[in-house]
Chain A
Amino acid sequence: DAGVIQSPRHEVTEMGQEVTLRCKPISGHDYLFWYRQTMMRGLELLIYFNNNVPIDDSGMPEDRFSAKMPNASFSTLKIQPSEPRDSAVYFCASSPTTTGNWFEQFFGPGTRLTVL
């Protein structure tokens, strides 16, 4: 089992540039989550999808952030234009829908983004 796959693992870019982060969830998982983690704010949920449909994007900081899930095996998080305050580790996680209505989230290795 490959687990959740994210790319790139590290990204260094300059302010104003577009950044695209990619995620492949675990096959068969119905839910996909995008998180951002910083020392100051901890782990923050940005958006999550259920069966490829965005359910809650209230955590997306502003219009510069957008996320898509065109199919069950791929999702992107885009920042355009990027700013230094976007520097963080971005995690993608997926989870199955199980009976009993509880599920654990499986996290990818994260993308460490640095915006100069």
Chain B
Amino acid sequence: GQNIDQPTEMTATEGAIVQINCTYQTSGFNGLFWYQQHAGEAPTFLSYNVLDGLEEKGRFSSFLSRSKGYSYLLLKELQMKDSASYLCAVRDEDYQLIWGAGTKLIIKP
């Protein structure tokens, strides 16, 4: 079966760095997405990885290792507004998006 695993919840301090991990087992691989979802709002696109390595976009970076079926989202200089759920999604061989359950990130002052 297809499976994506993320921690359910994480807590971090304002100004710090946090890494949210995602491991996946899917039938084929055609890219991995990270989305941010604030409570009561729609998911919004953060990043996309299809090749191994690190993609940096401002305070956010996303890493992919296809051989390990592993990705992480790195958030630096955390701000209170970063409190949200972070969803990992993998596109399989049929170009279907398989979604993780999301990681709820709580930022404390």
Contact = CB atoms under 8 A, between A and B. Distances in A.
15 contacts: A42-B100, A43-B43, A43-B99, A44-B99, A45-B96, A45-B97, A56-B96, A91-B43, A101-B30, A102-B30, A104-B45, A105-B97, A108-B42, A109-B42, A110-B41
B87 interface: yes
Contact of A107 (B42, B50, B96): B42
Contacts of B99: 42-45
B31 interface: yes
A43 to B, nearest CB: 5
Interface in B30-71: 30-31, 33, 41-45, 48, 50
Nearest to A48: B96
B44 A107 contact: yes
Contacts of A108: 42
A102 B50 contact: yes
Interface of B: 30-31, 33, 41-45, 48, 50, 87, 91, 95-97, 99-102
Interface residues on A, range: 10 to 19
Given A42-B101, A42-B102, A43-B99, A109 B30 contact: no
A107 B48 CA distance: 16
Contacts of A102: 30-31, 48, 50, 91
Nearest to A100: B50
A67 B95 CA distance: 21
A93 B45 CA distance: 12
A112 B78 CA distance: 30
Nearest to B89: A43
Contacts of A56: 96
Contacts of B33: 104
Given A43-B102, A45-B96, 19 more contacts: A42-B99, A42-B100, A42-B101, A42-B102, A56-B96, A91-B43, A101-B95, A102-B30, A102-B48, A102-B50, A104-B33, A104-B45, A104-B48, A105-B97, A106-B45, A107-B43, A107-B44, A109-B42, A110-B42
